Structure 1
Amino acid sequence: MRTRVRMAALAAALTLLGGVSACGADGDDRPDRADRAERQKPRGQDGQDGEPDGGAEPVWKRCAAPVTAHGSAAERPGDRWQCADLTVPLDHGDPSRGTIDIALIRAKAKEPGRRIGSLLFNFGGPGGSGVASLPLSAGQYTALNSRYDLVGFDPRGVAESSAVVCRDSAATEAAHRIDHTPDTPEEEKTYLRTSRAFGAGCAERSGRVLPHVGTENAARDMDLIRRALGDEKLHYLGFSYGTELGAVYAHLFPSRVGRLVLDGVVDPSADFVGSARNQVIGFQRALENYFTDRGEDPREGTRRIVRLLERVDRTPLTTASDRPLTENLALIGIILPLYSEASWPRLTEALEAAEDGDGTALLALADAYNNRDDKGAYSPQDHAQRAISCADSKGRVTADEVRSRHLAGFTRVSPVFGPYLAWDLAGWCADWPVAGAWESPDVSAPGAAPILVVGTTGDSATPYEGARRMADALGEGVGVLLTNKGDTHGAYGTSQCTTRTVDKYLLEGEIPEDGKVCD
């Protein structure tokens, strides 16, 4: 999935520029590396739906206080949180090729006498750190923590789990300043050259793990995590890309599915181009909903944004810093607040300032989305996101194909987001050093326990239609669709009705009627 979704950092970004807890970001709060040698290393698994071989219980230690990127008010781990590492095969198909460590964090159930088991989280991306995100957002899961150990993990290739790193912050800054909707042959060459250099940097700096960071490998890691935690079944709450990861797990291990919730659902039927087109549809829909809420004609509002972007393309706006607001950064600044209607007032303020010639507010929004701190350092989450997406998808689109097949159609759907996401087709996995695994993932899970699929009608990043397709693809009697009416990416914690329904399912095993709607 090529989704430019930062679900793992979204809460911090949308509180504008509140920091993201980076527990484990520098390795200071992980158990000592020497301790890992004391543990038996898992020997991999047989690739079937039988129990995996090996796997000792992780050594849990108290986590140190989190590092914060922007002065976050995130929950401090203290005694409540424990950290550990689980050693897994680098290549599940050939365990002899070595191992990597998967970073874990947990908060134990507050009512051990009523404990159900562990609840594993994935907050999306791909590339989001569960070790960082779970303490940040744990206040939303107090009810679940009564009967579950809350468990987060960094998927392979992410943060403390052998992070993919492809370039430094200076190169990232330069890449954000170039034109991502090239208007001239020279701009096109620069854009494609920068994209190719990114892939080459990934191969140079992270070549050992790069072929093995795909979703299927991560799903197999999740099964080893399940076993190491002592759970017979996997209980799981996945957001955004985490819905694809959870669904792939269900396909691989249907008999081990416990209570699974997929919220903010990726369309499993969409290929590389289809995924991008879905996002063009989703973000344009969200933009039109935003203008409608303001009492403004959505068509005129769209034209207003196009005029602003054309102006910024010609002459970048000045900001309160020495960094100009380019067209690319302006568009990213518009995209971020469309993830949640709660942040629409910030979009209004930023647009009005930009139209008056001040790009400061839009630049701040873009920096939040791009995980740039106030010292100019960028998180490598983008690197993992791209590496995982390109390891999964076979989609490789040339610039000629963008011009001849996709640009006009994408632009018709959205003159704001269409050109950007059409050119992204050529830039995202251009000359990628690793082959993709599939056109689209197989998520059929016959025989699995019911899986709750939550779709939000105004979801910008993963449009609602994908939730219905996911429920259908999981199979009859497996996928149970819950519809949330709203304008957010992900519903849990934003809709009382949806949150109650999910909690009843996870805590009591109460399965809602397929097709239930939360207004």
Structure 2
Amino acid sequence: MPQAGLTDESGRKRRGIRMGEESRVRKLVLITAAVSVGLTGTAVAATTGSSPAAPSRQAEQVSAGRIAWTPCPENDRWQGAALKGLECGTLSVPLDYRRPRGKKLKVALTRARATDTKNYQGIVLLNRGGPGGAGRDLPLRFTNPARGLPKEVSAKYDWIGFDPRGVQATEPSIVCDPSFQWPGKARADFVPASQRDERAWLRKARKYAADCGRKYGGYLPHIKTENVARDMDEIRKALGQKKTSYFGYSYGTFLGQVYASMFPRHLRRIVLDSVVNPARFWYGTQLDQNVAVDKNMKRFFAWIAKYDSIYHLGTTQRAVERKYYQGRAKAKAKPINGLIGPSEWDDFFANSDGYRNYTWVAHAKAISDYVVKNDPKALLELWGPLDEAGQNFFAVYSAVQCRDAAWPKNWKTWRKDFGGQHKRGIRAFTWYNAWFNAQCIFWPTQQGPKPKIGATKGLAGMLMLQSTHDGATPFPGAVEAHRRFPASRLVHEVGGMNHGISISPNNNACINAIVARYLNDGTLPASRRGVDATCRPNPHPDPTKPAAAAAAVSEAPIR
């Protein structure tokens, strides 16, 4: 989704952000530190039962027959050196689960093995979001204590990353008409000035959908969330495990909800970070995002105004907002290097600064340099054209979103909804989001029926994490998911606005401590009416401090 595509720093929905070094993280906080950093509702309850046994030699042999693990290459085609230290393997799964003996596809996996086999806790399947986000590098996030999960906890698990069907190293992977996302020059303005402009965008969306249909007509009907959940269960079986644990961000929380609904007895522990609304997917979530991202952009502008002595863009939120849109108009009149026009401007800033605050320092400087000094160097250093991985992300994003649920087929509905929001002043993300999803009007497969989501008999506890002002997955979605899974616990980062708040660049120590306790022994916050526990957010960055400038990087959000 954003939607326009939920994902994180390497599975970006964004069309043109170069991968940067991840932001500097806080020191590791031990499991017992939660109270000192702002946790309330401190009574806890243990759930989830006995520890699993490590896979037997026989189970390993069975698994080895299906997944041949070898050291990952030092220079992977898709991930470069990012898989170094992991094991790589593939698993054949049915393309169509109604015909299990029919055509197969090969799911690409990685593994970081448990080092504390005496206290072995089983496997954890990982998903960073999207849909379309790559996942094979993720085990290194969870086994690196600097990311927030103590080594004594991570050592008890086998961490399993995988590229979902259609993504990167999983075969086949898909890429459709590249010109829709990256024509080699600045695109037309997302904001249509006339119905003629709308028709031009719709022709592009139709062309993209048709190209996907021509290339992958027999494949697209089977790229949907329910089948990714089935693939996950095949991974569990191949690894000789009666149950799996799961950790998903953003769209990965939707995948987790679907898996929990389909295979409740196969889950041991499950963490859902930045929760998708199970009542609004997928058209409705776009409209919800437009509102939430616009509010966060205004928070960004107010933060810039606070530091006018540095950025010189105005001393009020409204003054900075005017300067921001003046910069957009300037890029429209003369695209920067012929590459960055008004649509790239929306794509770059709203799709990052509306999702998280730890890019604000670098991005505020880029805006200031361009608007005040007429110097685009900082912006050009942060921005880069969409590569093959980005094109692959968008193709899978489209395939899943357009397949999972029905979309309005009458453009008048879109014009009324998106155009109406824009007229009401919700403009930072709105038309961008419309054209990011318009291909679903013309998608060449059946759409829906929607997966059924909700607790069924046998499901263990579940940990949900949500910030108040999350732009990609607004807070009401977590409330709805919490309602549908009564055994879940909802942890609220009160006043926070980042998307992806645990074991991430944001690294909230309070949130991480709750996650660590749960993964360590199944301890969840005690059940309370409504939200079950709260944490304070990390403060907004301070550009007057050298550490803030050093930490400011350009990472795509965890969608």
Alignment of 1:452 with 2:470, yes or no, is: no
Separation in 2, partners of 1:221, 1:175:
38
Query: 1:7 is matched with which residue?
Result: 8
> CA RMSD of the aligned region, Å?
3.0
Alignment of 1:108 with 2:113, yes or no, is: yes
Separation in 2, partners of 1:170, 1:416:
21
Which residue type is aligned with residue 352 of structure 1?
S
**Superposition map of 1:354-365 within 5 A:** 354-356=370-372, 357-365=374-382
How far the C-alpha of 1:16 sits from its partner, in A, is 5.8
**Superposition map of 1:245-394 within 5 A:** 245-294=255-304, 295=306, 297-313=316-332, 315-319=333-337, 323-334=338-349, 335-356=351-372, 357-367=374-384, 371-372=386-387, 378-394=390-406
Separation in 2, partners of 1:399, 1:175:
27
Separation in 1, partners of 2:479, 2:197:
40
Q: Secondary structure at the match of 2:473?
A: coil
Query: 1:414 is matched with which residue?
Result: 426
How far the C-alpha of 1:371 sits from its partner, in A, is 4.6
1:380-439 Cα distance to aligned partner (Å, 9 max, x none): 1111111111111211343322223441135426122223324545x2413110122145
Q: Secondary structure at the match of 2:441?
A: coil
Query: 1:505 is matched with which residue?
Result: 518
8 Å CA contact 2:12–2:133 kept in 1: the answer is no
Query: 1:63 is matched with which residue?
Result: 72
How far the C-alpha of 1:444 sits from its partner, in A, is 3.5
Stretch of structure 1 that moved more, 209-218 or 194-203: 194-203
Which residue type is aligned with residue 420 of structure 1?
Y
Separation in 2, partners of 1:310, 1:327:
7
Separation in 2, partners of 1:167, 1:479:
41
Query: 2:20 is matched with which residue?
Result: 18
**Superposition map of 1:432-447 within 5 A:** 432-438=443-449, 442-447=453-458
Separation in 1, partners of 2:396, 2:82:
25
Query: 2:234 is matched with which residue?
Result: 224
Q: Select 2:174's aligned residue among 153, 164, 189.
A: 164
Separation in 2, partners of 1:433, 1:151:
33
Stretch of structure 1 that moved more, 354-363 or 456-465: 354-363
Separation in 1, partners of 2:363, 2:142:
23
Alignment of 1:148 with 2:157, yes or no, is: yes
8 Å CA contact 1:309–1:327 kept in 2: the answer is yes
1:207-246 Cα distance to aligned partner (Å, 9 max, x none): 2321101000000111111111122112011001000001
Separation in 2, partners of 1:148, 1:430:
43
1:329-365 Cα distance to aligned partner (Å, 9 max, x none): 0011112233321111012012112314444544554
TM-score of the two chains, using structure 1 as the length reference: 0.82
Separation in 1, partners of 2:390, 2:262:
35
How far the C-alpha of 1:76 sits from its partner, in A, is 5.1
How far the C-alpha of 1:269 sits from its partner, in A, is 1.1
Q: Select 1:124's aligned residue among 110, 121, 129.
A: 129
**Bigger relative contact order, structure 1 or 2 (CA pairs below 8 A, ≥6 apart):** 2
Separation in 2, partners of 1:254, 1:76:
31
Separation in 2, partners of 1:339, 1:505:
26
8 Å CA contact 1:259–1:506 kept in 2: the answer is yes
Query: 1:90 is matched with which residue?
Result: 95
Q: 1:428 to 1:413 in 2, by over 3 A?
A: farther
Gaps of 5+ in 2: 23-61, 307-314, 537-559
Separation in 1, partners of 2:446, 2:370:
41
Q: Select 1:516's aligned residue among 506, 528, 533.
A: 533
Which residue type is aligned with residue 156 of structure 2?
R
8 Å CA contact 1:88–1:99 kept in 2: the answer is yes
Q: Select 1:395's aligned residue among 388, 393, 407.
A: 407
1:444-501 Cα distance to aligned partner (Å, 9 max, x none): 4444111101001232211222111111122x2x221011232311111310010110
Q: Secondary structure at the match of 1:104?
A: strand
How far the C-alpha of 1:169 sits from its partner, in A, is 6.8
Which residue type is aligned with residue 413 of structure 2?
E
Question: How many correspondences in the alignment?
Answer: 470
Identity %: 28
Q: Secondary structure at the match of 2:534?
A: strand
8 Å CA contact 2:108–2:169 kept in 1: the answer is yes
8 Å CA contact 2:7–2:251 kept in 1: the answer is no
Q: Secondary structure at the match of 2:182?
A: helix
Q: 1:184 to 1:362 in 2, by over 3 A?
A: farther
Q: 1:197 to 1:133 in 2, by over 3 A?
A: farther
Which residue type is aligned with residue 90 of structure 1?
L
Stretch of structure 1 that moved more, 165-174 or 408-417: 165-174
Separation in 2, partners of 1:138, 1:155:
21
Q: Secondary structure at the match of 1:84?
A: strand
Separation in 2, partners of 1:366, 1:346:
12
Q: 1:171 to 1:308 in 2, by over 3 A?
A: closer
How far the C-alpha of 1:260 sits from its partner, in A, is 0.1
